[in-house]
Homo-oligomer: A and B are copies of this chain.
Amino acid sequence: MQTLFVELGERRYPIFIGHQLDGSKLLNQYISSQQVMIVSNTTVADLYLDHYLQQFQAMGKTIATCILPDGEKYKDFQHLHLIFDALLEAGFNRDCTVIALGGGVIGDMAGYAAASFQRGVKFVQIPTTLLSQVDSSVGGKTGINHPLGKNMIGAFKQPEAVLADMAVLDTLPDRELSAGLAEVIKYALLGDLEFLTWLELNMAKLLDRDREALAEAVYRCCAHKAHIVAADEMEKGDRALLNLGHTYGHAIESYMGYGTWLHGEAVAAGMVMAASLSAQLGWIDSKDVVRVKEILSQANLPIASPRIPVDEFLAYMAHDKKVLNGQLRLVLLKGLGQAVMSKDFEQSQLIQSIQDNLLAE
């Protein structure tokens, strides 16, 4: 097992990475409250709720649960409210801990509920998808979607601890494993060319769910993200680079309806578009774009977007949080492994980057 710390001063917290981890031993010192609310979804609860209930019961906690339906389309106000209902019906007070047991949707919702319940209670993450292990469980971004935009409502809420157990990835559907690999590949593209080479060599192992390879990939991604988050918690600067492919990707997700395309799938197509725009600007070579497409294909990810009308695509992109004073900014590549935030592109180039990467009819 490896332990990483996200260095945020008083709010410093550990990420435990390994397989078949002993949660009650690792988390005990990080859950000081008696009352523990486990938030999960129906799919994950069927597989792992009993296991974790036993672990928390072994810690002597008073436990309540809130099991939500599974899917990004439930990441809304109505379902967030169910968590508050459960907390209040259990009689929980401001000295309680909310535990997210699930993927990114559960982590985002449980985290925002923990940030908001009684103006803030404690929070622990047990991410059960590769995507949430490498991305959403680290860094404290929480929230819900709004019909007019993804993650538009939320809070920065750091957990007390994160438990990333590779054993739970055994039951992850192939499609979700690939979606998680999109974010893994993202870390390589935005800041670590050596890791890209490692991924090209180890992709077969990762797809085969080799626990050691997965733990290594998760560790590298979390270390990268922890470093960025510690320097820029509130995303005033470099943290925004983690959104490589995301502005395009969010447009795809929004247009298709949340959950139709998985987040990682949309980000994969978005990263191809970002690479494509970067190549138009002369910042990377066309062979770099090919390399981006190849590693994504190797991970069984899409490398083109559904045929969304370009004006609608642009309208969805304009809702993105990275729009500043009406000016769209994108994370682009100055080179492979070197992302930058930029608004130095023409509208025509932006349009080209979309049109060139739509699925053939």
- Chain A interfacial positions (CB closer than 8 Å to B): 34, 77, 81, 84-85, 88-89, 91, 93-95, 115-120, 141-143, 146, 148-149, 151-156, 234, 318-319, 321, 323-325
Contact = CB atoms under 8 A, between A and B. Distances in A.
A152 B93 contact: no
Contacts of A77: 77, 81
A142 B155 CA distance: 13
Contacts of A141: 119
9 contacts: A84-B146, A85-B148, A88-B152, A88-B319, A93-B323, A94-B321, A116-B154, A119-B156, A120-B155
Nearest to A34: B325
Given A88-B319, A116-B116, A119-B155, 8 more contacts: A84-B152, A85-B146, A94-B321, A95-B325, A116-B154, A119-B142, A119-B156, A120-B156
A117 B152 contact: yes
Contact of A324 (B84, B95, B119, B148): B95
A154 B88 contact: no
B143 A91 contact: no
Nearest to A143: B119
Nearest to A115: B155
A116 B153 contact: yes
Contacts of A155: 115-116, 119-120, 155
A120 B324 CA distance: 15
Give how many copies assemble into the complex: 2
A109 to B, nearest CB: 13
Contacts of A91: 318-319
B120 A152 contact: no
Contacts of A325: 34, 95
A66 to B, nearest CB: 14
Contacts of A142: 119
A153 B117 contact: yes
Q: Which 9 A-B pairs have the closest CB atoms?
A: A88-B148, A119-B154, A93-B323, A116-B153, A94-B321, A118-B321, A119-B156, A84-B146, A84-B153
A321 B146 CA distance: 29
Contact of A118 (B115, B117, B119, B152): B152
A321 to B, nearest CB: 5
Contacts of A148: 85, 88-89
A34 B142 CA distance: 26
Contacts of A93: 321, 323-324
Contacts of A151: 119
A89 B142 CA distance: 22
A152 B83 CA distance: 12
Contacts of A234: 120
A146 B153 CA distance: 18
A214 B118 CA distance: 32
Contacts of A120: 155-156, 234
Nearest to A78: B77
A208 to B, nearest CB: 37
A88 B146 contact: yes
Contacts of A146: 84-85, 88
